Amino acid sequence: MSTEQAQESAQPSKNALKKAAKEAEKAAKAAEKKARQDAEAAAKAAAEVDDAIHHYGKLPLNQSQTKTGEHRIQISALNANSEGQDVLFRARLHTSRAQGSKMVFFVFRQRQHTIQGLLQLKEGHVSKQMLKWGAAISTESIVLVRGVVARPLEEVQSVTIKDAEIHIAEIFVISSVETRLPFTMDDASRPEEEYERSEKEGIQYNRVLLETRLNNRVLDLRTQTNQAIFTIEYGVCDLFRSYLNSQGFTEIHTPKLQGAATESGASVFKVQYFNGLAYLAQSPQLPKQMAIAADFERVYEIAPVFRAEDSNTHRHMTEFMGLDLEMAFEESYDEVIEVLDSLFLGIFEGLSTKYAGEIALINKQFPAEPFTWRKKEQGGTLRLRFSEGIAMLKAAGAEVEDLEDLSTENEKWLGRLVKEKFNTDFYILDKFPMAVRPFYTMADPEDARYSNSYDFFMRGEEILSGAQRIHDAGLLEAEMVKKGIDPASMKHYVDAFRLGCPPHGGGGIGLERVVMLFLKLNNIRRAALFPRDPKRLVP
């Protein structure tokens, strides 16, 4: 091949030149189109200046760098009479719903209280960008809202504050949710009957099981139902403390590390204590009796107690809150029962009046017949002897022994019989067999097979166990030996009675069990903030 021929073959063909020219023309048109679009977008952005840019957004991390002192309200205080009031508040974003491109509805939540908020397009105040941003805030984020209280056109049925709403002027995110939620607040708040109805109607809801709730307890505790449950639990403690204070009791605080098992070595937690062993207190039984020997006369305590019992039931936990009291009496342990009875009647009455709103809210998710008790004008609390309870059970067909303790099944059976015959959910069973009570229990003076001990029951389940205690050192030692306990292992406890001690008695109440049964929650774990049982140590 000659040099001329080689050069001629290296030059592009006419078709290649045409193709390259077309591609160049196409690229030029694309560049021209992009430049035109960019110019149009810039012009549009310039025309749509976000005049609400300072009215929304994510707030910087709070490091206590500013302090305005501006008053922030609790939404529970708002109602139709608050119309026109400028307000500022912090709340959880419960739900949000965009309606078209010009408004977003919100539900804000503070504990068990909710209120509707409305963010509406308004030139110079609320921009399209603000609406779009607000609609995208993740539920359960914590927001700071500024707005004006208004009357809705009609009552808002989906919130607790029905006759007022917030017209939002500003909304900022204080803390956002950074993970996918395992369940929604709506799903966690549905009553069981709603799930059952939805299945029949072909509607699918996500059922939130108790195990899932407990594994995600922080989120679960935010539900309005749970906020109300633990408000009730606070109420029980407050009423307990207030009544006993009015009766001359002194609140004490006893150690939870003990050198000996309180009642039964088989049900205590052993812990390493330097070079020896200690035990977590099953109850404040020993120290509260010693306080009576120390002339405190009347004492009570609200504190945790520990039970190393492998009981995976609806009503047992390995750690729970005990409401304990002990008191000296003058002539008869009846004086102790009367104080305890009046205490419970005061708690029931106080819950029913002071916390009626919380009870109604809880009943939406856990429907229950109202708890009943006999008031003093109705003859007062029913008090049966243990032998009478056994007779009622036998008459109903139960196989029970005269001197054996009641099983859970028979407790509930007796509760149903009492309810049918006496129309009460609350009663006292007195004079338990001596063989089924702890070593420090005083025997009945007329029949040593029985004791001066009692249990209180709610809805057929025991919520208090108590007795007259043995206050004589010699008798105490003899009973310890009968139960297989070496008195020397509790020398300091026994020695307290050698110094002289008045006759006394008391009882221990399970806080979570009282709340569970009063509200009929069906599982004690629902009444425990972070429950502990044989299978759960976290969260």
**Catalytic positions, written as ranges:** 307, 309, 315-316, 462, 465, 513
Q: Per the structure block, which two tokens stand in for 350? A: 């106080």
Task: Tell me which residue has tokens 């004006």.
Answer: 148
Distance from CA of residue 305 to its chain's centroid?
A: 18
Three-state secondary-structure class, residue 301 = strand
Q: Are 286 and 493 in contact (CB under 8 A)?
A: yes
Q: List all residues 6 or more positions away from 86 whose beta carbon is below 8 Å from its beta carbon.
A: 146, 147, 148
Distance of alpha carbon 492 from alpha carbon 476, whole angstroms: 13
End-to-end CA gap in the chain: 87
State residue 521 phi and psi, 5-degree precision: -85, -15
* AA letter at 119: L
Q: List all residues 6 or more positions away from 444 whose beta carbon is below 8 Å from its beta carbon.
A: 431, 434, 450, 451, 452
Distance of alpha carbon 255 from alpha carbon 269, whole angstroms: 14
**CA quadruple 59, 64, 70, 74: dihedral positive or negative?**
positive
Q: List all residues 6 or more positions away from 261 whose beta carbon is below 8 Å from its beta carbon.
A: 268, 279, 282
Three-state secondary-structure class, residue 258 = strand
Distance of alpha carbon 214 from alpha carbon 221, whole angstroms: 9
Q: Are 113 and 76 in contact (CB under 8 A)?
A: yes
Q: Are 452 and 505 in contact (CB under 8 A)?
A: yes
Buried b (16+ CB within 10 A) or exposed e, 220-232: bbbbbbbbbbbbb
